[in-house]
Structure 1
Amino acid sequence: MNILLNSLSSLSLKSPSTCEAHHDASALYISIFLCLGLVISYLPQHYRIIANKTSEGFSSWFLLLGVVSSTSSFFNIILLQWNAIACCRSLSTGSCLESLMGVFQIGLQWAMFSLVFILFLVYFPEDRKRTLHRPSSLHLDIPSTLTATISEEWKISLVITALCLGHLAISFMVSLLLLIFVGGPDESQLTNLWAGFLGIISMLLAAMQYFPQIWKTWKRKSVGALSIPMMMLQTPGTALFVYSLMVRPGTNWTAWITYMVTGILQGTLLTLCIVWHFRNKKLGFDDLDGSVLPPTQRHLPDENTRLLGDDRL
């Protein structure tokens, strides 16, 4: 481990001779605004899960694709911006931080979304972690013979957790070894190909990420633990976020296309959640799990109120 750390340290000393401070006040202010807005936009989602003590309504596949996509994007931007990171040895602290705003933005995105996944696991509904079933027997089954086993949904969630951790470990080790023994993307075609591979993987997973969640939300006909305010804050800011990455020196389309695709799909999910929110409010259903609210918490029915029946199924 000490050899790897020393090698990485010596690599940082090899700052390019072309290291120059590039100051763009407008781009800097936009990046700072986006970083603050990104953190603020995720707070309603974190709060909603913690306050309700449930992650009901989240698709585990949506979270898997999101975590792996954001992790790939994070290592993609680190590799593409490695020269800027190395240049920090010869730049002032302010110039260094300004040159790395693109890395900070995607790093925050990865951290905030990963926290959603952690909260999903912590507040996974207890009654859905196990399932009751009767053991195979030739005798008459009675309630006392019911046994509980890990539910398929919780088992899938644990497998997904292992996959996310494994992907993080592999991405970190491969990127680290390439930077130490091969060099940055400007020095090695192999490193550049790996960075491009991560970017493309991130793009493809982001393109598929929202489909499981859109399908689950459509099927449940309720918002669940999803935060509408979070999506209302994030969706309009996607264009600005993409623009700030596009103007960063050293980046290419693989660094920002992910967020363009994600923004379009997130807007679709937002529209669906708003539709179900007002529908459930009108019919007297709980927005969290789709159950019928007690009379004191819903509007009194009138001649325009639809029969409950199977509308919420």
Structure 2
Amino acid sequence: METSLNKNAHEILISVLGNVVDTEPRQCIPPDDKTTMFISIFLCFGLVISYLPQHYRIIANKTSEGFSAWFLLLGVVSGTSSFLNIILLQWDAVMCCKSLTTGACIEGLMGIVQIGLQWACFCLVFTLFLLYFPESKKREIHSPTLVVDLPSKLETPITNEWRVSLIVAATCIGHLAISFFISVILLVFVGGPEHWQTNYWAAFLGVLSMVLASLQYLPQIYKTWKSKTVGALSIPMMMLQTPGTVLFVYSLVVRPGTNWTAWLTYMVTGILQGTLLTLCITWHFRNKRLGIRDLDTPATDVDPTETTRLLQ
């Protein structure tokens, strides 16, 4: 009776974690699904192309105004977790490349390539956000006084927004380093992909990615709603990515070795991204009627500085 209860409890736990515990090692069977392969290749090219407008917009305008640091934090950590999750889940496919042809190996690894490209492109957005962070928002405005400041006090403190951005950058790097280290230890020194600790770590990364992706767009939606401007956000990028999420999710669902922890993240992200896209389009046309550019900030939403125009 006790053995039966323990078995049922174990089966329930496996079900909750997405059936990631697999007691039978996978065989190196060459994949032969041309349709899925074509969709995966199309999505990889489409993914890179869809991010180019966002990368170009930040570089061309030399500003990352309008981005939420919390949105980027959740996106990078979620993407890192998702990338390591699918590597762990498909580690057998990686090892099978030793006995498969180059074409079969590439086809078997397309799921990893897709999520890897997604992660790399989003990390580049975060890098550009830091490089092109508005200089006017890095330092507090120095209020002139009748008292002459000492030389040690001439350096104005950094703003809270820039401080948060630096903390976010350190957090993303720390999460990547720690997660990568744990994954390597589990794969190389503990017991490989079939070990229960590796499977549960992969499940944890997948669930963490899903939770963070569910929250990822909320800070950006709030910031865009509050600022009432599009800022450096790229509408063309979101118009390409939002419908493409449907094909992206489908290609992951049908890929062997993956489960809901690998694709549910992107489904939730697509819904929230569609919400942000709708909001950006609304503000774009509203501000166009008012004669405000997307990278302009309404005068009523900011405090005047020494660079603020006297006449609007």
Q: 1:150 aligns with which of 158, 166, 169?
A: 158
Cross-structure match for 1:228: 235
Cross-structure match for 2:69: 60
Task: State the Cα RMSD in Å.
Answer: 1.7
Residues 18-167 of structure 1 aligned to structure 2 (within 5 Å): 18-133=27-142, 141-142=145-146, 145=149, 148-167=156-175
Shift of 1:153: 0.6
Equivalent pair of 2:93/2:109 in contact (CA under 8 Å):
yes
1:179 and 2:183 aligned: no
CA distance in 1, matches of 2:147, 2:99: 73
CA distance in 2, matches of 1:33, 1:110: 17
Equivalent pair of 1:83/1:184 in contact (CA under 8 Å):
no
CA distance in 2, matches of 1:112, 1:134: 40
Counterpart secondary structure, 2:156: strand
Identity %: 70
Letter in 1 for 2:283: W
The 1:133/1:19 distance shift into structure 2, 3 A limit, reads same
Structure of higher RCO (CA pairs closer than 8 Å, 6+ residues apart): 2
1:216 and 2:223 aligned: yes
The 1:196/1:230 distance shift into structure 2, 3 A limit, reads same
Shift of 1:20: 1.4
1:235-254 CA-to-partner distances (Å, cap 9, x unmatched) read 00111100000111000000
Equivalent pair of 1:225/1:288 in contact (CA under 8 Å):
yes
Moved segments of 4+, more than 3 Å = 143-147
Cross-structure match for 1:270: 277
Shift of 1:147: 5.3
Equivalent pair of 1:55/1:120 in contact (CA under 8 Å):
yes
Counterpart secondary structure, 2:183: helix
Q: 2:202 aligns with which of 188, 195, 199?
A: 195
Counterpart secondary structure, 1:130: coil
Equivalent pair of 1:75/1:172 in contact (CA under 8 Å):
yes
Letter in 2 for 1:44: P
1:2-55 CA-to-partner distances (Å, cap 9, x unmatched) read xxxxxxxxxxxxxx6821111111000000000000000000000000000000
Unaligned 5+ runs, structure 1: 1-15, 136-140, 293-313
Cross-structure match for 2:302: none
1:119-164 CA-to-partner distances (Å, cap 9, x unmatched) read 00000000100002459xxxxx338647511111111100110000
Cross-structure match for 1:306: none
CA distance in 2, matches of 1:245, 1:36: 16
Letter in 2 for 1:130: R
CA distance in 1, matches of 2:121, 2:57: 14
Shift of 1:290: 2.7
1:255 and 2:272 aligned: no
The 1:143/1:252 distance shift into structure 2, 3 A limit, reads farther
1:224-280 CA-to-partner distances (Å, cap 9, x unmatched) read 000000000000011110000011100000000000000000000000000000000
Cross-structure match for 1:12: none
Letter in 1 for 2:172: C
Q: TM-score, normalised by structure 2?
A: 0.84
